Amino acid sequence: MGGDERGGKTSNKGLVFHENYLLHETGGHPERKERLMAILDYLGEESLLAQMELVEAREATFQEVALNHHPDYIEEVRRFCEGGGGYLDPDTVVCKDSYRAALWAVGGALAAVDAVLEGKFSSVFCAVRPPGHHALRSKAMGFCIFNNVAVAAHYARNKGVERVLIVDWDAHHGNGTQEAFYQDPSVFYFSTHQWPFYPGTGKAEERGEGPGLGYTLNCPLPPGSGDEEFFRVYDREFLPLARDYRPGLILVSAGYDGHELDPLSSLELTTRGYRGLADRVVQLAREVGASVVALLEGGYNLLTLAQSVATTIEALP
């Protein structure tokens, strides 16, 4: 991966991937390593890999994961995985190598944040797993072990970013991310998601509390909602507030299980619809002068997942 040798230029788009993400073996579980393999294969077929540069992933430290998770919980996950694994919660299965994979998933997100803050890239897509936005401070949930995007937001704040925006377009509400910043005005959390649906959080009335009041925006949508409903929410409710917020960094919880062909939701977004959401986020980034880091969350139809990731990458600056 790298630049176009004919033009002598290197793209400003980065990609995070590491083979350690495949160590998280889940058997026949919907969140399986074949998701990443399908994405990489499709990006190669569409010549998108040649337009990107690999951002070197790394393993997150215990202290970095502890920016968002209780130390006792981190240690509990380590011991459980090293003991052979099993189910951390009814939906979240792990193997002996899942703790290591989860540390590398967080570390990939942090490497991406460093890459854009240091000006090496204007955007990075993180093809990481396990996903993260359901993970609470001391509890695994919904296929998620550590909350990659939440740790990344804390990390960026510690690096001097005054205001971080998290855009979550997964079909499921990112309850773990919301919890992490519900009282924190330095991180604006915005989510569109199917309602009613797992995990049961994300009502419109959930807007933050204390100093964080007004810095959480939930836009629950009924089953059957598609491109136009999502575009309307983005254009009318989200973008005016986001422009006023003027984030220094935009993180995207990029889940693709809202696709009309995905087996895990009843939303009707199309691949074109995901491109429209990405276009809106990129336009916002240009207006406020922010970089974009997108992190993979859900998406379980392998073909539509790969196609939707590709169209997101095409939109990135």
Question: Which are the catalytic amino acids?
Answer: 134
What is the rounded (10 degree) CA torsion for 204, 206, 210, 215? -60
* 264: exposed, middle or buried (Cβ count in 10 Å: 0-12, 13-18, 19+): buried
Distance of alpha carbon 271 from its chain centroid, rounded? 17
| Sequence-separated (6 or more) residues with CB below 8 Å from residue 7 | none
| Sequence-separated (6 or more) residues with CB below 8 Å from residue 131 | 31, 143, 144, 148, 255, 296, 297, 298
Query: Phi then psi for 21, rounded to 5 degrees?
Result: -65, -20
